Amino acid sequence: MVVLNKPLAPATKKQLFMIHQLTGEDTRELELTMQEASDRIEELELDQTPINETPVIPTDGLAPFSEAHVTLIEGAQRSGKTTTAVGKVRDSYDNDCVRIYCEDILKIKVDVKGYDRKSRLAKIKYQGETQIIKIPESYTLYTPKRIFSNIHLYGMKYVYCPSFRHILYWLKKGIICKGWLIIDESQRGMNARSTMSELGKELEVQGFQFGKMQLDVIIITHMARLIDWAMRTIPTEHISCTYNKKTKKVTYSLKKKGQQGTKEVSYYAPKYWGNHWTNEKVNA
């Protein structure tokens, strides 16, 4: 029971409205003291909290991450942020497909270094030696790794998240787990100015548990300061992008948490343009 400063004062409109929300009763004429209303709300809320809810635990035999895998991508407009995120996911998707081909068909455990979709050539490291293998045309590549994204992707199996509320709901229910989650224009749902909104608070709670869900999360924003301050503390990788129109290359600096120094990486952006629309807007 919460002891109030003015227990005998009449219940506030907010308290009466909460009782109305919880019970559906007409509370306009209800005569309650502030303390009585507070106790009733507490009881009603306890009644509505399911105590036997099944725990949401991803169970597939995979070891949970020992740390969160969260990448924060920053950059001005048209600087190749989304392309970088999509590229990272596509590379991971392709490499995982090749790894499964090697394990299922060739019966070998390899470290996949790269894969070219056009030629179907894969670079693998097997028993300390780098080799190039060709994946037969007849073999359909697949991976159990899940991809969730709030932008549309092409050439990959994925789940489109139409809004931040969907992301939150699916995170809470354990649908979004064991894979990649791309959150484009993240300041739309995790805005620093909306930190205290219900959505902001809930996303923050979920954000601190990405590691438990075995999720590799990519948060894309113009500037880290635009997103919720708590979310700014989660990323383990910081990427800052720039795009050169003449060379069509995206150059980004990569800083990993706990590691000294910065990596400068440059790649040819059109390689990944086929996997998404570079001008897709995120509104919800």
Partner 1 sequence: MADEKDNELKDKSKLPSYDELAQEEPEREINTDDYDGGTITEEESNSEQKTDIQAILKTLTPRFPSKRLNDLLQPAMVSRIFPDNLLDKNKLIVLSMLQEHEPDDLTVDPIGYISMVQDGLSIGYEGRGIVDRLEIAGVAHEEELDKLSKELGL
Question: Is position 266 an interface residue for partner 1 (rule: CB under 8 A)?
Answer: yes
The backbone torsions φ and ψ at residue 109, rounded to the nearest 5 degrees and listed phi first, read -100, 125
| Residue type, position 249, single letter | K
CA distance 279 to 142: 28
Write out the H or E segment, with its range, that includes residue 93.
helix 81-101
Residue 1 C-beta: closest distance to partner 1, Å: 30
Which of 118, 121, 123 shows the shortest CA–CA distance to 270?
118
Instruction: Compare residues 65 and 169 and give the one whose CB is closer to partner 1.
Output: 169
Interface with partner 1 (CB under 8 A), residue from 12, 130, 209, 262: 262
Interface with partner 1 (CB under 8 A), residue from 91, 121, 226, 242: 91
Interface with partner 1 (CB under 8 A), residue from 113, 120, 212, 222: 113
Instruction: Compare residues 222 and 271 and give the one whose CB is closer to partner 1.
Output: 271
Instruction: Compare residues 27 and 84 and give the one whose CB is closer to partner 1.
Output: 84
Which of 234, 132, 128, 107 shows the shortest CA–CA distance to 181?
234
Structure-token pair, residue 86: 């999509």
Residue 49 C-beta: closest distance to partner 1, Å: 15
Question: Is position 165 an interface residue for partner 1 (rule: CB under 8 A)?
Answer: yes
CA distance 19 to 15: 6
The backbone torsions φ and ψ at residue 209, rounded to the nearest 5 degrees and listed phi first, read -120, 15
Binding mask 61-90 for partner 1 (x = CB under 8 A): -----------------------x--xx--
Interface with partner 1 (CB under 8 A), residue from 4, 32, 44, 175: 175
Q: How many CA atoms lie within 13 A of 237 on its CB side?
A: 19
What is the side-by-side order of every strand in the sheet holding 111-116? 111-116, 121-126, 129-134
Structure-token pair, residue 282: 């995120």
Structure-token pair, residue 206: 């979920």
Question: Is position 159 an interface residue for partner 1 (rule: CB under 8 A)?
Answer: yes
Question: Is position 271 an interface residue for partner 1 (rule: CB under 8 A)?
Answer: yes
Contact positions vs partner 1 (CB under 8 A):
84, 87-88, 91-92, 94-95, 113-115, 117, 123, 146, 152-160, 163, 165-166, 169, 173, 175, 199, 224, 229, 232-233, 238, 248, 254, 259-268, 270-275, 277
